[in-house]
């Protein structure tokens, strides 16, 4: 069973940037996005400081964020990558299944990838992730390289938002093939 201890702060800077962006979007009436907490059961507590020092996950989490953007249901996960290659092991099969089901309900699922060494944010449409995922399932690479990514989905720094993912969402919606 997975425990919450050593991995607790991993990705917290990215999470903070996304949370602050979500606050900005909410204040401007552009989106209402909520962080989904991962349910945990405490095992060990520091009673003096009232902090959980060891816990286990009650269930697998699906995505980091869920909400609506101008009436469009969205869900996404934020991932940090310190290399030029993103390992698909950072994404779990139950997350892919949830996002696939979410999109079948006419929602939009995506990943925000932060290439920390380059200080670059990338909006990864779910359909693009699915192509890499299927390649892996068919015996291909278990990762994707940054140079494989579609340049147009890198998020601009100029829009006044810390992680301007609505720019990526807009492009994603414009390039979708409607059924």
16 is in an annotated binding site: no
CATH architecture of 11-37+62-174: 3-Layer(aba) Sandwich (3.40)
Integer angstrom CA distances of residue 40 from 5, 26, 83, 126, 177: 12, 27, 30, 27, 39
3-state helix, strand, coil in the chain (%, to 5): 35, 30, 35
pLDDT tens-digit readout, 152-172? 999 998 778 999 999 999 999
Identify the sign of the CA torsion 157, 160, 163, 166: negative
Residue 155's pLDDT is what? 95
Q: Domain residue spans in the chain?
A: 11-37+62-174
77 is in an annotated binding site: yes
46 is in an annotated binding site: no
Identify the sign of the CA torsion 116, 100, 37, 164: positive
pLDDT tens-digit readout, 33-81? 999 876 666 667 777 887 767 755 555 668 999 999 999 999 999 999 9
pLDDT tens-digit readout, 78-131? 999 989 999 999 999 999 999 999 999 999 999 999 998 888 999 999 999 999
59 is in an annotated binding site: no
Who contacts 144 (Cβ-Cβ below 8 Å, separation ≥6)? Answer: 85, 86, 88, 132
Q: What distance in Å separates the CA atoms of residue 91 and residue 64, rounded to the nearest whole number?
A: 12
pLDDT tens-digit readout, 132-147? 999 999 999 999 999 9
Cα–chain-centroid distance for residue 84? 18
């Amino acid at each position: 069973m997975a425990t919450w201890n050593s991995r607790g702060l991993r990705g917290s800077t990215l999470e903070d940037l996304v949370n602050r962006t979500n606050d900005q979007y909410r204040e401007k009436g552009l989106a209402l996005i909520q962080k989904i907490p991962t349910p945990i059961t405490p095992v060990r507590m520091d009673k003096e400081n009232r902090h959980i020092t060891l816990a286990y996950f009650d269930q697998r989490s699906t995505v980091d964020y869920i909400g609506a953007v101008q009436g469009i249901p969205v869900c996404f996960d934020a991932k940090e990558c310190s290399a030029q290659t993103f390992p698909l092991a950072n994404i779990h099969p139950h997350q892919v299944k949830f996002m696939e089901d979410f999109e079948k309900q006419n929602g939009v699922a995506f990943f925000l990838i932060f290439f920390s060494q380059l200080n670059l944010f990338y909006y990864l449409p779910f359909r693009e992730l699915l192509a890499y995922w299927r390649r892996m399932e068919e015996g291909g690479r278990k990762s994707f390289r940054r140079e494989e990514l579609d340049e147009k989905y890198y998020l601009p720094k100029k829009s006044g938002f810390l992680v301007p993912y609505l720019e990526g969402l807009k492009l994603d919606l414009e390039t979708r093939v409607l059924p």
